[in-house]
């Protein structure tokens, strides 16, 4: 442990180390930081039961311009992390949902978080 950190800060920093290792070993091709941030944002909405539409996701300007976000969505679709579900009432509306591959990705991150929190509490 670095002398200037608390146990909780150390646990979180260790989680970051492990999550980077999980990303680099399990995800082929690997997600870059921007794709990972977009996937995280999509996952939060999906998990809450209100998946973002493609248009809503393109409005996440903190992740880039709409065109850039759209390219990142296309890449996440290409590598099998997200897919789209059409709205039953309006087929122009496409909601972004996680695939089993993405759920497995988050499961591995959850396992690393579990291992880190167990060691932080010890």
pLDDT tens string 63-117 = 999 999 999 999 999 999 999 999 899 999 999 999 999 999 888 888 877 877 6
* Cα distance between residue 4 and residue 60, in whole Å: 35
Give the CA dihedral 11, 14, 20, 21, nearest 10 degrees.
-130
Confidence of residue 19 (pLDDT cuts 50, 70, 90): confident
The count of structural domains within the chain is 1
Would 19 be classed as within a structural domain? yes
Q: What pLDDT, on the 0 to 100 scale, is given for residue 75?
A: 96
Whole-model pTM over 0.85: no
Would 32 be classed as within a structural domain? yes
CATH of the domain at 95: 1.10.10.10
Would 2 be classed as within a structural domain? no
Say yes or no to pLDDT of 122 above 60.
Answer: no
The whole domain housing 37 covers 7-121
Q: How many residues does the chain have?
A: 122
Would 29 be classed as within a structural domain? yes
CA distances to 23, 109, 117, 118 from 17, in Å: 10, 11, 13, 16
Confidence of residue 28 (pLDDT cuts 50, 70, 90): low
Confidence of residue 54 (pLDDT cuts 50, 70, 90): very high
* Cα distance between residue 121 and residue 105, in whole Å: 25
* Cα distance between residue 78 and residue 3, in whole Å: 44
């Amino acid at each position: 442990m670095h002398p200037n950190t608390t146990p909780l800060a150390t646990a979180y920093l260790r989680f970051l180390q492990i999550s980077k290792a999980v990303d680099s070993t399990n995800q082929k091709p690997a997600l870059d930081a921007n794709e990972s941030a977009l996937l995280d944002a999509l996952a939060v909405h999906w998990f809450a039961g209100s998946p973002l539409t493609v248009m809503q996701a393109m409005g996440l300007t903190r992740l880039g311009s709409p065109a850039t976000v759209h390219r990142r969505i296309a890449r996440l679709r290409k590598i099998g992390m997200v897919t789209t579900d059409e709205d039953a009432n309006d087929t122009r509306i496409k909601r972004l949902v996680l695939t089993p591959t993405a759920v497995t990705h988050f499961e591995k991150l959850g396992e690393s978080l579990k291992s880190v929190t167990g060691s932080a509490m010890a």
